[in-house]
Amino acid sequence: MERLVGKNAPEFTMKTALGDGQSFGEVTLHGYKGKWLVMFFYPLDFTFVCPTEISGYSKRYDEFQKADAEVLAVSTDSQYSHQAWINTDTAKGGLGKLNFPIASDLTKTVSKDYGVLIEEEGIALRGLFIIDPQGIVRYSVIHDLNVGRSVDETLRVLHALQSGGLCPIDWKPGEKTL
């Protein structure tokens, strides 16, 4: 797979379940033009690590908004499965209401385009991409299914990318760049 960082993000159009659990929508890469986009892939609805990540990003959504960023979760499940998961009580493994949509990559095209598809299983690895307002991929991390991501690290990298400077190890917003 060819690298994505520094290149135009692959185009996409996907159906979504909106975070209110009541409505459906559609997202396109073009619809995020002019904003930063934090797009993360996860393997399957109704699993164990995924709800911790999705709810974690939702709880901190206002911090992404303050950084002029949108958040989009993606899996190869249908928008109907996403909606059912949002509407399932958290005590029973559900998500509850979210502050961002979950997109359905039922065709697996987007997962393949972003290099996260496990073809033989039809699911996505945990991949996270930060796309700048011009549609350029600025950050990509892809890893195994068993380990959840860090919202703190995602926000740190987002702010570092937005700083325009050279950011040393463990740089945090408000600190000097090199």
* Spatial distance between the Cα atoms of 132 and 9, rounded to a whole number of angstroms: 9
- The dihedral built from the CA positions of residue 60, 51, 128 and 81, taken in this order, carries a sign that is negative
The tens place of each residue's pLDDT in the chain, 178 residues long, gives: 789 999 999 999 999 999 999 999 999 999 999 999 999 999 999 988 888 899 999 999 999 999 999 999 999 999 999 999 999 999 898 999 999 999 999 999 999 999 999 999 999 999 999 999 999 999 999 999 999 999 999 999 999 999 999 999 999 999 999 9
Among the listed residues 50, 128, 151, 160, the single catalytic one is 50
> What is the enclosing helix (H) or strand (E) of 118?
strand 117-118
In the residue annotation, 50 being an active-site residue is answered as yes
Q: Provide the CATH topology of domain 13-163.
A: Glutaredoxin (3.40.30)
CA 30 – CA 178 distance, rounded (Å) = 33
Does this model's pTM top 0.75? My answer is yes
Of the candidates 82, 108, 111, the one whose C-alpha atom is nearest the C-alpha of residue 94 is: 82
